[in-house]
Every structure is written in structure tokens, then in C-alpha cells.
């Protein structure tokens, strides 16, 4: 017999198995999460400002 609530439980189990593998594949393929990218962009901006300040001192 078909149980719609049981199917949801099965989907959650499948997600728990597939999600880590998918995240690893995406990371290995060069994909990054948006929040990680935004952190890197912020850090790059900070470093560029520091470089400009150092160049002005020389």
C-alpha cells in the first residue's frame, strides 16, 4: 500500500545520502557557495586597499 507520509521520510533519507556527495562534487568542480564568494570578495577589497596605502607610503 502507498503511504504519502512514508515517501517524505524516504526522500529525507535520500537527501542525507546525496547532499554530501553533491557538495563534494561541486567543490571539486570549482563551484563555491555565494556566502563564501562574498567573503572572498570582501577580503580581496581589504587587501587591495592595504596595497594602495602601502604604495602611497613608498
The answer for residues whose C-beta is within 8 angstroms of residue 26's C-beta and 6 or more apart is: none
The rounded distance, in Å, linking the Cα atoms of 19 and 43 is 29
Domain extent listing, the chain: 4-57
Give the helix/strand (H/E) hosting 54.
helix 34-57
CA end-to-end distance (rounded Å), the chain: 79
The rounded distance, in Å, linking the Cα atoms of 23 and 32 is 9
Q: What is the pTM of this model?
A: 0.54
Can you say whether the dihedral through the CA atoms of 7, 10, 16, 22 is positive or negative? Answer: negative
pLDDT tens, residue order, the chain (58 aa): 566 667 777 888 888 889 899 989 988 998 888 999 999 999 999 999 999 999 998 8
Amino acid at each position: 500500500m502507498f503511504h504519502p507520509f512514508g515517501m517524505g521520510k524516504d526522500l529525507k533519507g535520500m537527501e542525507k545520502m546525496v547532499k554530501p556527495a553533491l557538495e563534494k562534487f561541486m567543490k571539486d568542480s570549482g563551484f563555491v557557495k555565494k556566502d563564501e564568494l562574498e567573503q572572498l570578495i570582501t577580503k580581496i577589497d581589504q587587501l587591495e586597499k592595504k596595497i594602495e596605502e602601502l604604495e602611497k607610503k613608498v
